[in-house]
Amino acid sequence: MDYQTLLDEIAQDIVPYFGLGKVANYIPALAKINPQQFAISIATLDGQQYSTGQADTRFSIQSLSKVFMLSLVLGRLGDSLWTRVGKEPSGNPFNSLIQLENENGIPRNPFINAGALVVTDLANSLYGEAKAVLLDFLRQETGTTDLAFDLEVAHSEQQHGDRNAALAHFMKSYGNMVNPVDHTLDSYFHSCSITLSCAELARAGLYLANHGLSPISGQQRLSRSQAKQVNAIMLTCGTYDAAGEFAYRVGLPCKSGVGGGILAVIPGKLSMAVWSPALDSQGNSLIGLEALDRFTTRTGLSIF
Amino acid sequence: MDYQTLLDEIAQDIVPYFGLGKVANYIPALAKINPQQFAISIATLDGQQYSTGQADTRFSIQSLSKVFMLSLVLGRLGDSLWTRVGKEPSGNPFNSLIQLENENGIPRNPFINAGALVVTDLANSLYGEAKAVLLDFLRQETGTTDLAFDLEVAHSEQQHGDRNAALAHFMKSYGNMVNPVDHTLDSYFHSCSITLSCAELARAGLYLANHGLSPISGQQRLSRSQAKQVNAIMLTCGTYDAAGEFAYRVGLPCKSGVGGGILAVIPGKLSMAVWSPALDSQGNSLIGLEALDRFTTRTGLSIF
Amino acid sequence: MDYQTLLDEIAQDIVPYFGLGKVANYIPALAKINPQQFAISIATLDGQQYSTGQADTRFSIQSLSKVFMLSLVLGRLGDSLWTRVGKEPSGNPFNSLIQLENENGIPRNPFINAGALVVTDLANSLYGEAKAVLLDFLRQETGTTDLAFDLEVAHSEQQHGDRNAALAHFMKSYGNMVNPVDHTLDSYFHSCSITLSCAELARAGLYLANHGLSPISGQQRLSRSQAKQVNAIMLTCGTYDAAGEFAYRVGLPCKSGVGGGILAVIPGKLSMAVWSPALDSQGNSLIGLEALDRFTTRTGLSIF
Amino acid sequence: MDYQTLLDEIAQDIVPYFGLGKVANYIPALAKINPQQFAISIATLDGQQYSTGQADTRFSIQSLSKVFMLSLVLGRLGDSLWTRVGKEPSGNPFNSLIQLENENGIPRNPFINAGALVVTDLANSLYGEAKAVLLDFLRQETGTTDLAFDLEVAHSEQQHGDRNAALAHFMKSYGNMVNPVDHTLDSYFHSCSITLSCAELARAGLYLANHGLSPISGQQRLSRSQAKQVNAIMLTCGTYDAAGEFAYRVGLPCKSGVGGGILAVIPGKLSMAVWSPALDSQGNSLIGLEALDRFTTRTGLSIF
């Protein structure tokens, strides 16, 4: 079966799931989104792209930004990054302070909020103003010039950002936050507020499927080994406290965001993005997981 | 490069690591082993086997037994198993009670001790005497008739088994342990005491590389989907608190034991075993990890 | 106002509270008790005793036994006891394993279950068969010969004793349990099953009000300093996770049991016991706390 | 023996302890203090004062400020205070975030840092500028007009205040911090930086020994019941993770600060202060505890 037909079938299959789950409501700017939206898009290494649903509607990438910011820092710093953040699954909800306290301010991985704040702090040290560099990176990797921060969302995050502020100050108390906390938070909230469409997100992930070399921008974003590392961390840590569930059902490196987007990578083959705003109890797109499960089951594509 | 040459090279490469790490010393029967031993063996789906080092020397499989016991139970029970044990990484040392208390007696995955005890309890319910069924399974999957429990090790584990007894009683207090605790512990300690050689262990893992169908015994041990599930759980949970490190450096589903053995699976291709008794600080074979890292780096074989 | 009049008034005041709270239901033998019972009794150092309500009805002393067992061990061992159990409040529900794991098998105080099991283990080492020695102690301190274990309760505790078994095995894994776990549990469950009336319990506490010298038996049960120590531990740790609430409202050293009894001590003056089976959410007698609050408020007696 | 003679003897007894323990070094302004200083002072309800050592040397009161800020808020708000902070011992080091997370942002008691921040937040809501009101309170209760903040210490705390900032933001994320975090922190750090001499501190505590009525200012600072409550919380929570140790050895309500001061109260009789900068491993003045232990042992004064 060709990809287009399969995607169209999946778009039919998930219709009964509309109404399940809940959109993120911790900030008003996200809470008002219409949950009955869905898109899926595949970008292959040989330059094809297949999409269905509202694949050109932009949504808040939120934690998906962590993959790209991590790539920006890992590509520049290499393994010395791992003195400031771990790469083990956390086994706790995504913003827990307990583990951070037990482990002296070193977050367990770059995809929990604490870890992403450390990566953002590093990115500011390396690049000066990380949020602008990230936006530029995404413009290049999507081949789109009009990407932007959603300032309403960024502002709303800042208004409700006390838990992230707590994490940042807590790590600073351990010496694991170099720049001023306010700057790091500003960079982090703006990075999360960037909007991408499903079609754009699928393209943006291609360098991860291609051993670090982007077929879009032509740039070697990560070394072959680093690309493998990012995929490994996506698989073990990319979907909050459901990494095992995703590995088990989907069997692909995935990263999700509370805006309802999920990026999945099949190394050597393709990058895909799925989006539907309603979340399951772990904070991942409920319909997104269903769609990915169907895709890998029917194609037999899985890393396992 | 052919596998045999590569294995021989790796056997040379790891020589400088002898002397690092420490053999498991929590029971006398394991503490007395000579750490300067090493073996690696590959069994391919097309029936070849390549080995180097002391590949016919048997060692205590310890936690490697958890993969096979899980297969026995999952193959029979299917997904209803997951009401009694989770499939998420634990993010804590392998026998921590904290998470168990937070999650009402449901262990996070089948590879931490608590989870393995639940699987053993289920196996006793399903098979009557799980340890005998497991031994028989391994005899069939290795094509060897003389496998046996190491009764000195089993007895020694029992003598020092208070932490596992605590876990079992604790879960029983939540209703998640059906059979008498003493029976479960006896089954568990005997299962861990089985000895296999590296060559035997590599063969025993072939059904996991072949979508559940064993090329050794000809039996469908797991469905295609279940084999994928076991591999996924090995990747995310198979190496204590270093699953991220293994995914990152090795990039294959692996399961380790404190006897110094590690099983790794390349789905669709081969099963491999490595053994060297000295452990790193996470409880995985220090030289085993080095050897697997070299293997996947030089062959480019990785699921990522 | 004289004590008798005050007690009679309190007995009237608490009537509206009948129906609130719940009797302990973790074992059937305790769950069947009629909650609408109440008694209070005061024994003064000058030999008077004042009681009201069902002050001669015996009830299960449960955790109240921990005070007397502690006295038996502290009186004999002195401060070397504190190498095996702490004397700090626990800040967690009474049977939590988390703190025990954080603190390497040394329970925080002798009144959480783990601590009481250590004290019982020590008592067996010192006295051979601690439960018999405890029963004898209580016979002497109440001046009553017919005290006995409630074997139905002891047996019921044993049937539902997996959490205590888990605690004991866990501490044994740290080397903090010397005798066989089964023996310790048997001693512990039998000690908890002893029944006393309110009048008897009040008398039994007199040595704590009299600097360790019992006016009943004439024996110096504890040194002056040790009696002060036991009272201090009662105040800070005697009422599960409500020690602060008791200190705040009652202002006296108290020890409670899930059978609904509470012992309170006014050093230099009197010992008092109150009993009513229904418990509040912390596991203390709901009406017992109300009665003690009224007593100290109206008399102005408080250590603060 | 009269108090003066006893205090002088204690001052001799503690000399061999000079050199043990360590002064607080988390901020430079405290780290530079000479540890070989000692003072003790008693203020009795009948208007006498007895002192020895450097009883007129001022030191940083640090956490001792929590007693007085609590009194300011409790005296005004009464029991409604307890909806925002608990009154149970914490059983964890004084600034742990774990318990705060488990208990949804409600600190366990007003003497751990998180609880003191809540009380400070409340004080700012009640009084506008709590730090000024506190300074005024202490001027009145010591009968001294020249009390002041130590601005170097306050500034140093602010520079190293990330852990307290983390606590405050964390509680704000639960809705348990009403005013801007920066204002609360400023008030808190200034309050802690106030300096008092031992003689002044002893006088300042007299209202707690006198059922809330200050013999110095003539003001009813707390109701009789509230004074009892503050004393009870001092006993169970006033000395970090050593409340049990203090209750056991000293047997009096105490509050300590990392500046090396300790306030102790004997209800109905006297207030006393002791000061020596070197701290034990729990953060309490090492020599201060020794001195208080000797005082209560020799006088027989104890609430137990």
Residues B182, B184, B190, CA angle at the centre, nearest 5°?
100
Side chain identity, residue A144? T
Tokens of D88: 């149970």
Q: Is the pLDDT of residue D107 over 50?
A: yes
Q: What is the pLDDT of residue D92?
A: 64
- pLDDT tens by residue, A128-158: 999 999 999 999 999 999 999 999 999 999 9
Does A113 appear as a known binding residue?
yes
Q: Are B111 and B63 in contact (CB under 8 A)?
A: yes
Rounded Cα distance, B59 and C66, in Å: 48
Average pLDDT over every residue of D120-130: 97
Mean pLDDT score of chain B: 95
A163–chain D Cβ distance below 8 A for any pair: yes
D126–chain C Cβ distance below 8 A for any pair: no
- pLDDT tens by residue, D285-294: 999 999 999 9
Q: CA gyration radius for chain D? A: 18
* Cβ pair A304:B109 closer than 8 A: no
Tokens of A193: 């507020």
SS (H, E, C) chain B: CCHHHHHHHHHHHCHHHECECECCCCCHHHHCCCCCCCEEEEEECCCCEEEEECCCCEEECHHHHHHHHHHHHHHHHHHHHHHCCCCCCCCCCCCCCHHHHHCCCCCCCCCCHHHHHHHHHHHHHHHCCHHHHHHHHHHHHHCCCCCCCCHHHHHHHHHCCHHHHHHHHHHHHCCCCCCCHHHHHHHHHHHHHCEEEHHHHHHHCHHHHCCCECCCCCCECCCHHHHHHHHHHHHHHCCHHHHHHHHHHCCCCEEECCCCEEEEEECCCEEEEEECCCECCCCCEHHHHHHHHHHHHHHCCCCC
* Closest chain C residue to the Cα of D303, Cα to Cα: C303
Total Cβ atoms within 10 A of residue B52: 22
Chain B residues in contact with A303 by the CB 8 A cut-off are: 267, 303-304
Q: What is the DSSP letter of A194?
A: B
pTM > 0.90: yes or no: yes
Rounded Cα distance, C244 and D182, in Å: 31
SS3 D163: helix
Residue where the block lists tokens 């452990």 = B279
Q: Which ranges of chain C would DSSP assign to H, the alpha helix?
A: 3-13, 28-31, 65-77, 98-102, 113-127, 130-142, 151-159, 162-173, 181-193, 198-204, 206-209, 224-237, 243-249, 286-299
D301–chain A Cβ distance below 8 A for any pair: no
Q: Are D90 and D108 in contact (CB under 8 A)?
A: yes
Q: Are C282 and C241 in contact (CB under 8 A)?
A: yes
Rounded Cα distance, C223 and C75, in Å: 7
- pLDDT tens by residue, D50-100: 999 999 999 999 999 999 999 999 999 999 999 999 999 986 664 567 778
Q: Which residues of D are annotated binding-site positions for substrate?
A: 63, 113, 157, 164, 188, 240, 258
Kindly list the catalytic residues of C: 63, 66, 188, 240, 258
- CA nearest B259: which of B201, B206, B181? B201
- CA nearest C256: which of C60, C64, C27? C64
Q: What is the DSSP letter of D193?
A: H
Interface test with B, best of C164, C173, C177, C181 (most B CBs within 10 A): C173
Q: Which residues pair with A186 in a beta bridge?
A: none
Q: What is the pLDDT of residue D205?
A: 98
Tokens of B61: 């499989």
Q: Which residues pair with B279 in a beta bridge?
A: B22, B285
How far is CA A9 from each of CA A5, A54, A290, A302, C46, rounded to the nearest angstrom? 6, 15, 13, 19, 90
Rounded Cα distance, D185 and A6, in Å: 58
- CA nearest D274: which of D31, D46, D17? D17
Give pLDDT < 50 ranges for chain C.
Answer: 94
Q: Are A80 and A119 in contact (CB under 8 A)?
A: no
Neighbours of chain C (3+ CB pairs under 8 A): B, D
Q: Which ranges of chain D would DSSP assign to H, the alpha helix?
A: 3-13, 28-31, 65-77, 98-102, 113-127, 130-142, 151-159, 162-173, 181-193, 198-204, 206-209, 224-237, 243-249, 286-299
Domains of chain D by start residue, with CATH: 3-299 (3.40.710.10)
Rounded Cα distance, A32 and B240, in Å: 42
* Cβ pair B244:A90 closer than 8 A: no
Task: Sort D197 into a burial class: Cβ within 10 Å, 0-12 / 13-18 / 19+.
Answer: buried
Cα dihedral D10, D16, D20, D26 sign: positive
Q: Which residues pair with A52 in a beta bridge?
A: A40
Q: Is the pLDDT of residue D102 over 80?
A: no
C33–chain B Cβ distance below 8 A for any pair: no
* Cβ pair A166:D162 closer than 8 A: no
Q: What is the pLDDT of residue A94?
A: 47
For A113-137, the DSSP string reads HHHHHHHHHHHHHHHSSHHHHHHHH
Interface test with A, best of B81, B228, B230 (most A CBs within 10 A): B228
Q: What is the pLDDT of residue D199?
A: 98
D49-53 sheet: strands from edge to edge:
D49-53, D39-44, D270-275, D261-266, D254-256
B304–chain A Cβ distance below 8 A for any pair: yes
Rounded Cα distance, D278 and D24, in Å: 7
A&B contacts, CB < 8 Å:
104
Q: Is the pLDDT of residue B153 over 70?
A: yes
Task: Provide, rounded to the nearest whole percent, the portion of chain A with pLDDT above 90.
Answer: 90
- CA nearest D61: which of D130, D149, D182? D149
Question: HSE-up of B241 (CA within 13 Å, CB side)?
Answer: 15
Chain D residues in contact with A162 by the CB 8 A cut-off are: 169-170, 172-173, 181
Rounded Cα distance, B242 and A184, in Å: 29
Chain A residues in contact with B103 by the CB 8 A cut-off are: none
Phi, psi angles (nearest 5°) of residue B35: -75, -20
Question: HSE-up of A98 (CA within 13 Å, CB side)?
Answer: 19
C&D contacts, CB < 8 Å:
105
Cα dihedral C203, C207, C208, C211 sign: positive
Q: Are A211 and A227 in contact (CB under 8 A)?
A: yes
* Cβ pair D233:C248 closer than 8 A: yes
* Cβ pair D166:A167 closer than 8 A: yes
Helical pair B65-77 and B181-193, crossing angle rounded to 10 deg: 120
* Cβ pair D88:C243 closer than 8 A: yes
- CA nearest D188: which of D260, D116, D255? D116
More confident residue, D89 or D194: D194
SS3 C92: coil
Neighbours of chain D (3+ CB pairs under 8 A): A, C
Which residue in B160, B166, B173 is closest to C170 by CB distance? Answer: B166
Q: What is the pLDDT of residue A178?
A: 97
Catalytic residue at A274? Answer: no
Rounded Cα distance, D101 and A38, in Å: 35
- pLDDT tens by residue, B24-55: 998 888 899 999 999 999 999 999 999 999 99
Q: What is the pLDDT of residue B210?
A: 97
Q: Is the pLDDT of residue B94 over 60?
A: no
Rounded Cα distance, C99 and C44, in Å: 39
- pLDDT tens by residue, A227-256: 999 999 999 999 988 999 999 999 999 999
Helical pair D65-77 and D130-142, crossing angle rounded to 10 deg: 100
Rounded Cα distance, D32 and D206, in Å: 31
Tokens of B24: 């498991």
Does A258 appear as a known binding residue?
yes
Q: Which ranges of D24-97 would DSSP assign to H, the alpha helix?
A: 28-31, 65-77
Q: Is the pLDDT of residue A93 over 70?
A: no
Mean pLDDT score of chain D: 95
Q: What is the pLDDT of residue A283?
A: 94
Interface test with D, best of C74, C82, C88 (most D CBs within 10 A): C88
Q: Is the pLDDT of residue A92 over 70?
A: no
- pLDDT tens by residue, B237-249: 999 889 999 999 9
Task: Provide, rounded to the nearest whole percent, the portion of chain A with pLDDT above 70.
Answer: 98
Q: What is the DSSP letter of D110?
A: T
Cα dihedral C113, C114, C115, C119 sign: positive
Q: Which residues contact B21 (CB under 8 A, 6 or more apart)?
A: B35, B278, B279, B280, B285, B286, B287
Residues D156, D162, D167, CA angle at the centre, nearest 5°?
125
Does C109 appear as a known binding residue?
no
Q: Which residues pair with B264 in a beta bridge?
A: B254, B272
Task: Provide, rounded to the nearest whole percent, the portion of chain D with pLDDT above 70.
Answer: 98
Does A63 appear as a known binding residue?
yes
* Closest chain B residue to the Cα of C167, Cα to Cα: B166
Q: What is the pLDDT of residue C94?
A: 47
Q: Which residues contact A91 (CB under 8 A, 6 or more apart)?
A: A99, A241, B88, B89, B90, B91, B92, B99, B108
Residue where the block lists tokens 């449901």 = B106
Rounded Cα distance, D92 and D74, in Å: 24
| Per annotation, catalytic residue among D119, D181, D230, D258 | D258
Q: What is the pLDDT of residue B102?
A: 77
